[in-house]
Amino acid sequence: MRRGRGVTTPRQMLLVLSEFARTMVTDFPIQAILDRLVERIVDVLAVDAAGVVLISPNQHPRYVAASNEAAWRFEMLQSELNQGPCVDAYRTGQAVAVPDLQAAHRFDRFTPQAIDAGLAGVYAFPLRHGDIQLGALDLYMNEPRLLDQTTMEAAQTLADVAAAYLLNAEARDNLRRTAEQSLERSLHDPLTGLANRALIYEHVAHLLHQSRRGGSAVAVLFLDLDRFKQVNDRFGHRVGDMLLVETARRLTDAVRPGDMVGRLSGDEFIIACNDVAALQTEALVARIHARLARPFALPGIQISVTASIGVACTSDHRVPPDRLIHDADLSMYRAKRTNEASHWLGKDGWLGRDGELVPNDDGDQPTAGDRGRSDSEGEREGPPD
């Protein structure tokens, strides 16, 4: 058995440590750090291959990196068998040295398969930070080789330094995920997962800004479930919530790719569309009514509901988003009063489902007073937030 030469030079070791130090101020993902680690270790420690595995508490690998295909096979073999120097180093927190696999009988399942795959010697060093065990760094040899004490210490130092930087990278990733999840929650309705009021208003503003370049029309559909309060009163809020969730799913299925569906509050939903024409909007309204016409099969009960839909459309990018949404809301109230399925409030007038343009005048356009009358008639279950 020949002795392996140690770290090439102290300068090379210093360069590797400096390289890891620079990762502290970068956004390198964990996998990229591991991939670079095994490449540099092969150069510095003069081994044939290297691998790194991070192991979860349930002992399933989370990340695996290997300097070549052979090292990848050996990492996967130990993971599949749940046996090998890597597994022992992780479990015990101590380095494991097997300089000659042929002469070792420690791993009855791993050893014969590794030898058949061309492995002659292997060393494993725990990735640890204090009492925390993260995984292992593995060094692979194509022929039996005994590493000297200096090389063993250098390998464990690299493993310890890598563990510290990996913990830093993982903490950074967790912080980023937490921030993304917090942002996601702040912009989405917790019950249905749809866009909430803030995101919808932001999206409508974006669509109006886009329309300035292309001159395309932006449409907002305001949908209110009819007599939803009666569902809550008769069956309870749990059933009401399930109905809202299923309604959200059906609305999402009905819209075009790129259209946004949101929930404002209670049983009020909103859909924002760009690049639309009258016939396209009428087709979308028809699809929505068709989806909602099917009875809702909820646990232990079947419910049928209808919806009133108001539509507002503009190709004028100067229209404020809250005005467009407000007009769609008023249009929805007109639909409730007249029992029509939907109306389009355009620049020049109301467009009914039959495609007939109804000129806007003081007697036809809904007003805030119309909303009050609808409320008094019991069609609205509560004002929006």
Indicate if 163 and 213 belong to the same structural domain. no
**Percent of the chain at pLDDT above 90?**
45
pLDDT at position 72 = 94
Name the residue range of residue 313's domain: 197-376
- Judged against a pLDDT cut of 50, whether residue 384 lies above it is answered with no
pLDDT at position 369 = 36
What are the backbone angles phi and psi of residue 340, rounded to the nearest 5°?
-85, 155
Which of 130, 154, 184 corresponds to the end of one domain?
Answer: 184
Which of 184, 209, 226 corresponds to the end of one domain?
Answer: 184
CATH number at residue 162: 3.30.450.40
In a domain, 320, yes or no: yes
In a domain, 384, yes or no: no
Indicate if 170 and 216 belong to the same structural domain. no
**What tens digit of pLDDT does each residue of 327-366 get?**
999 889 888 887 644 444 444 333 333 333 344 444 444 4
What Å distances lie between residue 149 and 7, 12, 104, 141, 152, CA to CA? Answer: 11, 18, 20, 17, 5
Indicate if 143 and 259 belong to the same structural domain. no
Indicate if 209 and 294 belong to the same structural domain. yes
Token pair 């040899």: residue: 141
In a domain, 50, yes or no: yes
Indicate if 147 and 173 belong to the same structural domain. yes
Indicate if 57 and 180 belong to the same structural domain. yes
Indicate if 67 and 141 belong to the same structural domain. yes
CATH number at residue 302: 3.30.70.270
In a domain, 160, yes or no: yes
In a domain, 191, yes or no: no
User: In which band, very low, low, confident or very high, does the pLDDT at 380 lie, cut at 50, 70 and 90?
Assistant: very low
In a domain, 216, yes or no: yes
CA distance 71 to 49: 6
In a domain, 56, yes or no: yes
Domain count across the chain: 2
CA distance 310 to 328: 5
Indicate if 135 and 269 belong to the same structural domain. no
Indicate if 156 and 275 belong to the same structural domain. no
With a CB cutoff of 8 Å and minimum separation 6, the contacts of 16 are 40, 41, 44, 158
Indicate if 153 and 242 belong to the same structural domain. no
In a domain, 383, yes or no: no
User: What are the structure tokens assigned to 296, written together?
Assistant: 């809702």
Minimum mean pLDDT among 34-48, 113-127, 330-344: which range? Answer: 330-344
Which of 184, 205, 232 corresponds to the end of one domain?
Answer: 184
Q: DSSP string of 278-318?
A: HHHHHHHHHHHHHHHHS-EEETTEEE---EEEEEEEE--TT
Indicate if 179 and 70 belong to the same structural domain. yes
Burial of 211 from C-beta contacts in 10 A (0-12 / 13-18 / 19+): buried
